[in-house]
Every structure is written in structure tokens, then in C-alpha cells.
Amino acid sequence: MSSVVGGVELAEELPAPDLVVPGSEPIARSQWELFRRRFLRHKVAVAAAIVLVLLCLSAVFAPALAPYPLNPKLAGQVLAHARQGPSWKHWFGTDELGRDQLTRVLYAGRVSLTVGLMVALVSTVFGTMVGALAGYFGRWTDQALMRLTDLVLVVPPLAILLMAGKHFGGSERVIIAILAVVFWMPIARVVRGVFLSLKEKEFVEAARASGASDLRIIVRHMLPNTIGPIAVNTTLVVGLAILTESTLSFLGFGVQPPTVTWGNMVGQSAQAVGTPLAYLVYFPGLAIFITVLAVNFLGDGLRDAFDPQSSH
């Protein structure tokens, strides 16, 4: 090929279609393929996803993984092992009653992770429904939603949660329920916002013009386009729910002993600060921190993967 001097000649030099090098032809990629590729490029998010999978597995298989029983029966024998710092025999040490802390952290993870995931699930389902209705139909549903969520900004949510936790008692289900009552609202607001902007799009108008019902437009045309923001906010709610549950349990208004959660373990370890038993504080809190950190990085990866324009 001769060198090209003028732009006019360039057009003639374009390779004919049959000259395309095999393998370099543009590949039609599906949305999910694109999503997967973008997500895998975010190395930290991939690492976070792996950490989360491992954490979930360790929670599911806690009874098999735990080196000691959760509630030891032979009290005398166990007390002989009390107050031991971290060692090969007891990785996280033992408390003043001789209970192995690694065992307790593993079992506590089951409760903390369940609470986080269930709160996110319930809030997402309910928040998406309310947000979709408010954004699509507007009017009084929209007004009611916006004013209600305004109120939450006025009254400190943790104060309400503490009172509810005290009144309704500290079973796992109650804590999930009262946390979901707070956390559906941010999701509803996000979904409402996306629906408001989607409502004006041409494809929605086209669907309506071709006679689709409101329900079909919402479910088939608009919801799939809301998947990104919903997924991102659901992961954020998982993290927030785990943090809030731990705070409630720490203060004694969350999940009550004998059920162990990371939060009430931190609460029980509070008096160990400044004593030789201070190691009791380290591990349950570290477990919360690593879990929530991984959840937040995963959310960041999902955000980038769903919406490449919203890069940092």
C-alpha cells in the first residue's frame, strides 16, 4: 500500500470487507456480557465479591468449621481454658467463661449476615413497589412518599429504632422488620427518581401508543431499566443494615443473648477495654468492618459496571 497524502485518497484505501483479519470483527455483545466485562475490570470489587462469598460460606458451614461447640456443656473443663489470648489452639482467644471466640464469631456471622441480607431483600421489594407507583402515577402517592421520607430526615432514625427495639423485643425477626421499616425509604426515593425520568422516554411512549397496560409498561419496560440503581442501593442497604444491627445490639436494644451477633459481642467486650482481655474487642468488630467494607466495594463495582459514565 502506498502512503496516503490527501484525505480523499484515504477513502479508496479502506480495506474491503473480505480483508478483515479473522477474529477482529466487531462482536455483538449482550448487555450482560458488557456488564460482566466492566465488573471484572474493577479488581477491588472482584476481590470484595470473593471475600463476601467466603464470608457467606463460613456462615452457612459454621457448625462444620467451628473448632469448638457454641455452647459447651462441661462447664468445669471449659472454665480451665478461660481468659486465654489468641493462640494456635484458640485463634481469637477465649473469654472469661472459656468460650472460644473464633467459634462465636463464626456463629454470630450467621445472624449478622442474615439480618443484612433479609433487610435488604424486604426493603428492596417494598421500596421498589412504592417508588415505582409514586414515580409512575405521581400525584398523592408521590406526595405521601416524599413527605414521609422528609420526616425521617427530621427525627433521628436510630432513636426510633432503639425505642422500637426495646418495645418489640430482640428476636432476629423483629430486628429485621424494624430495620426494613427504615431502609425501604431510600430505595423508594431512588426508584421514584429513575421512574420520573424514564416516564418521559420515547420507548415508554411507544409502548403506551401500542396499547400496553400500565402494569405491563412498569414491569416489562421500566423496571428492567431500573435494575442498576436498585442493585447498587440494595448492596448499600446490606452494609447499612449490618452496621445498624450491630449498633442496636451493642447498645443492648438489638438481637439479645444467648443469640450471638457481632454487635452484641462487641457490646459484651466493652468492659474488656484496658484490661488484659482487650483482644476480645478486636475480632467481632473486625468481622463487621471487613464485611461492610466488602459490601461497599461490591456496590462501587456494580455502579461502574451498570453505568460506565458515572466513573469517579
Cell numbers 433487610 correspond to 119
Least distance (Å) between residue 140 CB and another protein: 15
Stretch that binds another protein, among 73-81, 86-94, 221-229, 264-272 (CB under 8 A): 264-272
Cis upstream peptide for 15 (omega within 30°):
no
Site mask, another protein, residues 164-203, x = CB under 8 A?
x-xxx-----------------------------------
DSSP per residue, 150-175: HHHHHS-HHHHHHHHHHHH---HHHH
Stretch that binds another protein, among 52-60, 80-88, 187-195, 236-244 (CB under 8 A): 236-244
List the helix and strand counts (H, then E) for the chain: 14, 0
Stretch that binds another protein, among 74-82, 122-130, 138-146, 243-251 (CB under 8 A): 243-251
Site mask, another protein, residues 48-87, x = CB under 8 A?
----------------------------------------
Stretch that binds another protein, among 65-73, 136-144, 207-215, 240-248 (CB under 8 A): 240-248
Quick one: which of 247, 261, 268, 301 contacts another protein (CB under 8 A)?
A: 247
**Which grid cell sits at 186?**
431510600
Residue closer to another protein by CB (options 128, 247) is: 247
Separation of alpha carbons 234 and 131, rounded Å: 14
Least distance (Å) between residue 312 CB and another protein: 7
Phi, psi of 297 (to 5 degrees): -65, -40
Q: Is the separation of the CB atoms in 191 and 227 below 8 Å? A: no
304 touches another protein (CB under 8 A): no
Report the amino acid identity of residue 277.
L
Quick one: which of 49, 120, 133, 162 contacts another protein (CB under 8 A)?
A: 162
Separation of alpha carbons 209 and 137, rounded Å: 17
Stretch that binds another protein, among 50-58, 159-167, 186-194, 205-213 (CB under 8 A): 159-167
Q: Which residues contact 181 (CB under 8 A, 6 or more apart)?
A: 164
Instruction: Report the length, in residues, of the chain.
Output: 312
Quick one: which of 119, 145, 194, 266 contacts another protein (CB under 8 A)?
A: 266
234 touches another protein (CB under 8 A): no
153 touches another protein (CB under 8 A): yes
Stretch that binds another protein, among 63-71, 84-92, 186-194, 261-269 (CB under 8 A): 261-269
15 dihedral zone (left: phi>0; alpha: psi -120 to 50; beta): beta
Report the amino acid identity of residue 246.
S
Q: Is the separation of the CB atoms in 92 and 152 below 8 Å? A: no
Residue closer to another protein by CB (options 79, 181) is: 181
SS3 content of the chain, % helix, strand, coil (to 5): 75, 0, 25
Quick one: which of 93, 98, 229, 267 contacts another protein (CB under 8 A)?
A: 267
Q: Is the separation of the CB atoms in 109 and 58 below 8 Å? A: yes
- Footprint of another protein (CB under 8 A): 147, 150-160, 162-164, 166-168, 239, 243-244, 246-247, 250-253, 263, 266-267, 269-270, 273-274, 278, 281-282, 284-286, 288-289, 292-293, 295-297, 300, 312
